[in-house]
Structure 1
Amino acid sequence: IDKESCGDPGTPLYGIREGDSFLNGGILRFECQFGFELIGERTISCQNNNQWSANIPMCIFPCLSNFTAPMGTVLSPDYPEGYSNNMNCVWLILSEPGSRIHLAFNDFDLEAPYDFLTVKDGELLDATVLGRFTGAESPSHLDSNTNLLRLEFQADHSMAGRGFNITYSSIPINARRFGDNFQLGSSISVICEDGFIKTQGTQTISCELDNGKVIGVILSPGWPGYYKGSLSCEWVIETEPGRSIKITFDKFQTELGYDFLEIHDGPNLLSPLVGSFNGTQVPQFLFSSTNHLYMLFTTDNSRSNSGFKIIYESVTVDTYSCQDPGFPLNGLRYGQDFTIGSTVSFGCDPGYRLSHEEPLVCEKNHWWSHPLPTCDALCGGDVRGPGGTILSPGYPEMYPSSLNCTWTVEVSHGK
């Protein structure tokens, strides 16, 4: 039985994790993406009691900061979870002399008209105001006239919005930039104004993968608050050819039977279906067999829930084995051999019942013979033996309405 493990603790939002051993004695190290501050322990270890020595840290965006990198991101505090009340933040962006600063507004949602972002052309408090924005109204982009921008964010004492996500980059004076998409495969062009000529560099640059891993986080809309009804959201994850995509379900809770996340092994909805998930029962992680993965999240117009946080990364597939199938939630795994032809089986914690007991077999196509089973707390049943556990349906989540469950408990004669 694989009991000497602490399980995958996840990766902080806007963070990076080093290390992949979750066994006793394993060590994980964390750092934050550029511009973020790490709060908590930078290193955690898996102890002999199968518990991590500390919770994973958080990566927060500071409320007061200076930026001198040629490009980067400015986020409202706690974006996209919603900023706090009574905020007064200032960010200064400084580029090289002889350049200007280009802002791209990727997402903008403030409480109108009480919370607002002011953009000033210069360092000083009385610098020229380029714009003041509130609500959901913001320009798609904005250029400074100097090499220094001042961003002032003020929030009052009451309601809050989702916040904002703004990327900045430096551009030459007497030039215009075209393109605000920084995704893999996208391009950005810088064109000189009339009367000026390009003296160095290239006119167009493209975002390409430089022998690195693709890694990121996908959040349901409104996370960690409840998502809205009548949604249809699509995500396509792409990595370089020859690599696969691993997704880890860090958090998952949707309305059972009505709000679904479909995952397809390929670039679109017509690709083979890996699984359709709802409620709280999801595998620990999933792998694609190609360098694309398609996700579709649909909701009805009634009740909702907190949604999901999914971590994705590119991985190299072993030619002679399947990927680690993970563990069922509230369950155990028997077997550590994942080579082709090997089998693993599963059991459940006390009070839970395995959805199917057939072992998983690693097949020649590097896929397991069927999906990971689930451990469910059912409504009623027969309980035998000297001791045991009875759980309400769906535990530890809330039980459904209109239930009538009966359990029969049988022990040895004379007990």
Structure 2
Amino acid sequence: MFVKFVLDTSICKANTSGFVMEEVIECENQNHDACGGVIEYPNGTITSPSFPALYPILKECIWEIIAPPKHKISLNFTHFELEGTTHQHTDCGYDSVTIYSKLSENRLKRIGTYCGNAIPPTATSEGNALRVEFHSDKSVQRSGFAAVFFTDIDECSLNNGGCQHECLNTIGSYMCSCHNGYSLHENGHDCKEGECKHEISAPFGTIYSPNFPDLYPPNADCVWHFLTTTGHRIKLIFNEFNVESHQECAYDNVAIYDGESESSSLLGRFCGDKIPYPISSSTNQLYMVLKTDKNKQLNGFTAMHSTSCGGYLRATNQIKQFYSHSRFGNHNYNENMDCEWTIQAPPSSNVQLLFLTFDIESSENCTYD
């Protein structure tokens, strides 16, 4: 079993070699109304004064979370109960929490103002500073809020991440992509012209065969490599399909592989004018190849790709992370999700699972989420 605790040193600085429960309680009791301050830790927790007891009246608190240059800060609320209507995030004239992205010493960009008891969405700073303001009036009091924050370097902010065209910042990493008509070089940063290769990391979209709806070219060898967040799968649904027919698809064909290359397991090889069945990968990568010969050409295909939660993960002796949904850190998970992960270790080994962030709708017996 893994146990992880965070000592909120913005509330009380004590012996950092551990903690003694009596000392923590005494310190918190002495400072139960203290709030706000400048925080320069890479991750941690902030709470309303007196949390989880009722916050005091007429309180003004300001936290400024400062990350190193070229980093961004994300803030996730784990508890939220302020004066206001059930799902009120507008007209918060009584008690409120307001979050700003601090762009410079005298320039703030408001992300949102929140009250009521609905959990606010994840807030991410534009730069390396995030400001949180809490206000309470002289009447109704509630239990307040608790939120966790973490920082992540924005690799794209320095020299575009070394990408020749587009740089997409992700949690803990980044990805390069290319403009239309170009494909990503094997070095993962440069873009090359004239090749029919597509690196796709967007969570959803539409793909087309070359020249669609006109005829695809002869002697084509086109590749679509789909990559999504670890712990999720790629789903591919064809809307139109018209490729030269052959009993064994020996002329023109579309082949789809469950992984990162043609050496991965083959999920299907298709030709003719019958629309293929929906395809789902078992991991976070899918590889599709269109091959044509020099003879007959048709108008090809269109297909929609999307990301599905869940899938197969292989455990190794290296620590790996996976996420509840593909847009974790920037958006809440969607409604009506049904996700299942299979994590397999080598024979005679165990799988150890440690949650780093956990924020799911609370209900008795967990009947909702």
TM-score in same-fold range (> 0.5): no
TM superposition score normalised by structure 2: 0.33
Larger helix proportion of the pair: 2
TM superposition score normalised by structure 1: 0.29
Q: Which has the higher contact order (CA 8 A, sep 6+)?
A: 2
